[in-house]
Each structure stands twice: as structure tokens, then as C-alpha cells.
Amino acid sequence: MVQENPVHVRGSRKMKRPRRIDSRILNLSKNISRRLVAGGASSVVLAGSWARGDAHDDSDIDLWVIGKNSPYRLERIDGFLVAISERTPNQFRKEFRDPARAGGAVPGWREARILFDSSGLAKRMKRDAERWTWDLIVTKCDEWVADQVTGYAEEVCKLVGNLRLGRKWAAAVQRSIPAIRMAPILAVHFRILYGSENALWELVGEAMGDEWKNLQRSAFGEGKTNFAESCDAALKLYAVAANSIRSLLTERQRAVVAHACKLAKRPLV
């Protein structure tokens, strides 16, 4: 059985006392909620950093709306940036079964503050989030991780090719891809629930160890790292990630990933 790491999951499944929310944010959220309900929403919850209690003055207000399927939108209201995500109940539930989304969606619902819930849908979503475990999608997770790492082998080839041709701008773009995308993939591999992407890279770094953290710093250009060093670090990040999940690869995937690792000068073992 796959267990959630308690370091990354606040309070496991015990009922927690609601966090105190800034009264300005709560009142503004309730006012916007009334407008959304008048427009047809059946449930509205406050999610994100203001619900978790780790917001700063410029954090946006995240409102998750159960209703119709509407485009994600940003509004500036009373000096705050408001992010409104309106989806159907099935669309929200689907995120619990999606390896790419579950790591943020599950803790997001666990920590959300219900503002309006005429049909009880938000309450059921929170209950489902409390009961959720990685075991429900373990096979999907392993397949998704293997597919993702295999797919990003193409970006390794592009980065190496652009470096050989002296295309620095193109290489700079490609360099950022493994630096950004490997961590979310490894978060699924290690079954990390992170709630906020702001903490994702640090959490994955703790799971992977010092070599990974040092390569990630270089790939992001932290400190005195030069361009060539940062590109080399991005390539090695891919190879280290690939080696950490190699047991999940099919024969076809292994051939693809092994070639990318060879280009990164860190063989798949």
C-alpha cells in the first residue's frame, strides 16, 4: 500500500480547526460569492494561500466555483487579484483521478473554506478529499510518470541540438523545460501532496537529496552559474529523474529515455 508522506500532508485525515482568515479577504470573498451564486453557481469555496493561511499581501484570492464549465478568469476587485475557476462537479472530481492534478487538488479541497453550498456539493468534495489516498490511482500514477519522462526525452534532444548549433536563445528556452517539468513528475512518483506549487520544488528536492538540489539550483541559474553550466545541469536533472523512475519504464520507453540520458552524459543504469 502506498502511504502519503506525513511531512507533506497536514493533519492526515483528522478534522482540523478552521484557520482564521483575514476578515478583509473573507468579506470580499463572500461578496463575490453572492454575485457568482446570482449567476448560477451552486457552490463557492475559498481555496489557495488565503485559505491555507500562508498568503502575502499580493497573493490572489482563489475562488473555486461549482457550476457550469466557464473559462478561468482573473479580476481586479477592491485592490486584490481574484482568480475564479468555475467547473462542473464531474470536472472537479476528475482532478482526484488525474495524476497531474491530484497533488494540488486534494489538499486544496481539504483546506478550502466553504462560502456557499446550497446543494452540499462542496461539502461532499471536501469529504472525498479527506478520504482520498494515492492507492486509488496508483497504476495511473506509475504509467503517467513513465509516459511523462519518456515524452520529455525530446526536449533533451532539442537542448543538445541547439547547443551544438550555437542557438543560445533556443537552448535557454529548452534548458528551462527539464528544470521546471521534472519536479511535478517526481512529485507524483514520490506521492507528494503539495497544495501550492510554491513549495513543490523544495519538497521534491528534499525527497531527491543534495545532488538533485544542487543541479536544480544550477539549472535555474542560481548563484554564479554560467550559461553552459546551467544547460549541463538541466540535462543532468533529466537523467537523474529518469534513473529514479527507471523501473517503471517499458522496453520501448527505456530505449527512448536511455538515448536521452546518453546525450545528457549520465547513462540510464
Condensed to tens digits (0 to 9), the pLDDT of residues 67-101 reads 998 999 999 999 999 999 999 999 999 999 999 99
- Cα separation, 70 vs 105, whole angstroms: 18
Per-residue pLDDT at 140 exceeds 80: yes
Per-residue pLDDT at 9 exceeds 70: no
Q: What angle do CA 36, 38, 43 make, to 5 degrees?
A: 50
> In the prediction, which pLDDT does 57 show?
87
- Cα separation, 118 vs 106, whole angstroms: 22
- Residue-wise pLDDT for 236-249, tens only, equals 999 999 999 999 99
Structure confidence at residue 19 as a pLDDT band (50, 70, 90):
low
Per-residue pLDDT at 14 exceeds 80: no
Q: Of 42, 38, 27, give the one whose Cα is nearest residue 80.
A: 27
**Which secondary-structure segment (H or E) carries 63?**
strand 61-66
- Residue-wise pLDDT for 51-72, tens only, equals 999 999 899 999 999 999 899 9
Structure confidence at residue 1 as a pLDDT band (50, 70, 90):
very low
Contact of 231 with 155, CB cutoff 8 Å: no
Per-residue pLDDT at 3 exceeds 50: no
State the Rg of the chain over Cα. 21
- CA 98 centroid distance within chain: 11
Per-residue pLDDT at 29 exceeds 80: yes
* Residue 92: half-sphere exposure toward Cβ, Cα within 13 Å: 26
- Residue-wise pLDDT for 163-213, tens only, equals 999 999 999 999 999 999 999 999 999 999 998 888 999 999 999 999 999
Per-residue pLDDT at 45 exceeds 80: yes
Total-model pTM: 0.90
Q: Of 118, 123, 124, 129, give the one whose Cα is nearest residue 36.
A: 118
Which amino acid appears at position 246 of this protein? R
**How many other CB atoms are there within 10 angstroms of residue 167's CB atom?**
14
Instruction: Report DSSP letters for 195-262, one per residue.
Output: SSGGGHHHHHHHHH-HHHHHHHHHHTT-TT--HHHHHHHHHHHHHHHHHHTGGG--HHHHHHHHHHHH
Neighbour-count burial of 264, counting CB atoms closer than 10 A to its CB (0-12 exposed, 13-18 middle, 19+ buried) = buried
Structure confidence at residue 18 as a pLDDT band (50, 70, 90):
low
> In the prediction, which pLDDT does 32 show?
97
% of residues, the chain, pLDDT over 90: 87
Q: Where are the beta strands (DSSP E) in 111-191?
A: 113-117
